[in-house]
């Protein structure tokens, strides 16, 4: 295939089509008519010899070929945008802008307070718009509408850039009046009642089915490898709520150590190591290729990495 016979604008069409999976939305995003976008899709299908998007009962869906093309096309378009974008630099001391961050509750309670303290003097006019994972879709991040996702990922989409912020062990929190304190072993742990804290992912979540072990996360996966399961009495998506429940005399809360340490000065709570091995969890930040070389974005990522290293 000879490049001189290819309209490279079609790659921009394909990038938007694969982000929206909608001819109408893609046309609106690019400010062109729907027939023009439909014609672009027809030409793309001819170019790649693949339907790329097919109609299903839930709308348009990408083919396997389209899914494999998406990260490659996203990078090409992002690199071209970088090449033509003027380099204005970034001065955090004078800049006025909003960064939109999608963060898990775990990230919000552990990372955000020291991040805001670090920004107080160096970037006084920077605003953070904090979104929950259920507020945000992968396409929002891929299109650069959200600057960063900070969360624990089972798998990071191939089209995202990402960086590990820290690795964290697990700790158990109990009331000082909990009778389990004097014989905290695996048997007493399994006999106790527990609070489960969600590992929140992207998109709108659903409730937990207590009868199934699927999707319960690191703690319950570690127990399952021992052929054990705990008795979960409360399911919550909020770390602050879980930490407050630790003051109850009959509950055990198992959660990442950095969040448990927020209560280390609480005289009513004991923080103990789990009586079994739980693999470390990993907190990452992920972002769109569109923002990879943006000076303001580079500054924010560097500041987050610096704050995280000091906490680590």
DSSP per-residue codes, 227-263: T---EEEEEES-HHHHHHHTTSTTEEEEEEHHHHGGG
Q: Poorest-confidence range of 125-134, 184-193, 265-274?
A: 125-134
- pLDDT for 229 equals 92
Neighbouring C-alpha atoms within 13 Å toward the C-beta of 235: 13
Rounded Cα distance, 103 and 152, in Å: 10
The pLDDT-based confidence of 174 (bands split at 50, 70, 90) is: very high
Token pair in block for residue 160:
């995202």
Please write the tens of the pLDDT for every residue from 210-245.
555 555 788 999 999 999 999 999 988 888 889 899
**Band of pLDDT at residue 207, cut at 50, 70 and 90:** low
- Pairing state between β 269-272 and 170-175: antiparallel
User: Rounded to the nearest 5°, which phi and psi values hold at 180?
Assistant: -70, -15
Q: What pLDDT score does 276 carry?
A: 96
> Which of the four pLDDT bands, split at 50, 70 and 90, describes residue 189?
very high
- Whether 87 contacts 295, CB under 8 Å: yes
Question: Does residue 157 surpass a pLDDT of 90?
Answer: no
Q: Report whether 71 contacts 64 (CB < 8 A).
A: no
Which of 8, 26, 284 is CA-nearest to residue 160? Answer: 284
What are residue 197's phi and psi, to 5 degrees? -115, 130
User: How many Å apart are CA 90 and CA 94, to the nearest integer?
Assistant: 9
pLDDT digits (tens, 9 = 90+) for 260-279: 999 999 999 999 999 999 99
pLDDT digits (tens, 9 = 90+) for 20-52: 888 988 888 888 888 888 999 999 998 889 999
Q: Give the C-alpha separation, 312 to 303, whole Å.
A: 14
Amino acid 204: pLDDT:
46
pTM over 0.75: no
**Sequence-separated (6 or more) residues with CB below 8 Å from residue 136:** 102, 146, 149, 202, 203
């Amino acid at each position: 295939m000879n490049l001189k016979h290819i309209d490279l604008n079609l790659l921009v069409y394909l990038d938007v089509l694969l982000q929206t999976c909608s001819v109408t939305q893609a046309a609106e995003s690019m400010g062109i008519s729907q027939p023009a976008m439909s014609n672009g899709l027809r030409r793309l299908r001819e170019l790649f010899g693949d339907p790329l998007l097919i109609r299903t009962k839930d709308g348009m869906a990408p083919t396997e070929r389209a899914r494999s093309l998406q990260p490659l096309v996203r990078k090409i378009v992002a690199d071209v945008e970088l090449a033509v974008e003027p380099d204005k630099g970034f001065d955090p001391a004078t800049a006025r802008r909003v960064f939109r961050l999608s963060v898990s509750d775990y990230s919000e309670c552990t990372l955000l307070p020291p991040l805001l303290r670090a920004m107080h003097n160096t970037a006084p006019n920077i605003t953070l718009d904090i979104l929950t994972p259920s507020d945000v879709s992968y396409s929002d991040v891929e299109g650069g509408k959200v600057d960063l996702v900070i969360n624990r990922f089972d798998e990071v989409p191939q089209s995202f850039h990402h960086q590990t912020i820290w690795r964290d062990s697990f700790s158990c929190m109990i009331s000082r009046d909990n009778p389990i304190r004097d014989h905290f072993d695996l048997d007493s742990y399994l006999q106790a009642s527990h609070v489960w804290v969600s590992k929140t992912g992207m998109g709108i979540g659903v409730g937990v089915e207590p009868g199934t072990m699927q999707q319960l996360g690191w703690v319950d996966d570690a127990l399952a490898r021992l052929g054990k399961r705990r008795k979960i009495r409360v399911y919550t998506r909020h770390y602050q709520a879980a930490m407050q429940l630790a003051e109850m005399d009959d509950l055990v809360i198992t959660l990442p150590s950095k969040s448990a340490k927020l209560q280390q000065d609480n005289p009513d709570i004991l923080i103990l190591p789990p009586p079994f091995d739980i693999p470390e969890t990993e907190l990452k930040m992920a972002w769109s290729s569109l923002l990879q070389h943006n000076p303001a974005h580079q500054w924010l990522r560097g500041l987050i990495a610096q704050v995280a290293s000091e906490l680590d």
